[in-house]
Structure 1
């Protein structure tokens, strides 16, 4: 008894189309979350700053004392909190410091923590 060879191909095509429809519907539902990443998350506090700063240690050293990038200790004597936040958000052109590594809310908390002396 011979089977029809077109049935497996048709079944794969139907499953593929069904998967595309499902992923499209899921994507449409997630569109609002993607458009507004800073909204709806947990509130970031100054206590979270040390954890957020873990993304900085690769360049600025384990205690932020400097590595391949400048030291982040005693930043309050060089920059205002607004200037530090601007650097965190936008980076510094022509250097390895790129912006956008943390959310705006995290950048605000991290800037405050760095300027106040990482206590």
Structure 2
């Protein structure tokens, strides 16, 4: 009785493909369930963030970890040159390479105050 030597490989391939399909479908349902567990949206998380957290998330790459300036200007002592209103306007509208809209509107005042106090 001669057996085809390819049969075991064919069975393994079919089982493997079936397992991949089943796990992929399960993963899709799990991802939706995990995503639904978070009660806050990304915008709500941003609105709850402190100025330091917003800075770390959006500003550190240009202004540096120690506010020393990298591709953007240094922020140390910026409150000596600009008042909070000017800082807020710059954060809100951007310009000269700085993108607008990095800080939620409800956090602009807090962020401007915080930036003006960096020494």
TM class, shorter-length = 0.5 to 0.7
Query: Structure 1 residue 60 and structure 2 residue 66: aligned?
Result: no
Q: Specify the structure having the higher radius of gyration (Cα).
A: 2
Q: Distance in 1 between matches of 2:106 and 2:22?
A: 40
Match of 1:20 in 2: 24
CA deviation profile, 1:33-86 (whole Å, cap 9, x unmatched): 5x92133689434xxx345434634433555354542243114266153x2441
Give the count of matched residue pairs: 107
Where structure 2 has 5 or more consecutive residues not aligned to the other structure, the ranges are: none
Task: Name the structure, 1 or 2, with higher relative contact order (CA <8 Å, separation 6+).
Answer: 1
Over the aligned positions, Cα root-mean-square deviation in angstroms equals 4.0
Where structure 1 has 5 or more consecutive residues not aligned to the other structure, the ranges are: none
8 Å CA contact 1:76–1:114 kept in 2: the answer is no
When the two structures are superposed, what TM-score results if normalisation uses the length of structure 1? 0.56
Residue from 4, 11, 19 that aligns with 1:7: 11
Structure ranking higher in helix proportion: 2
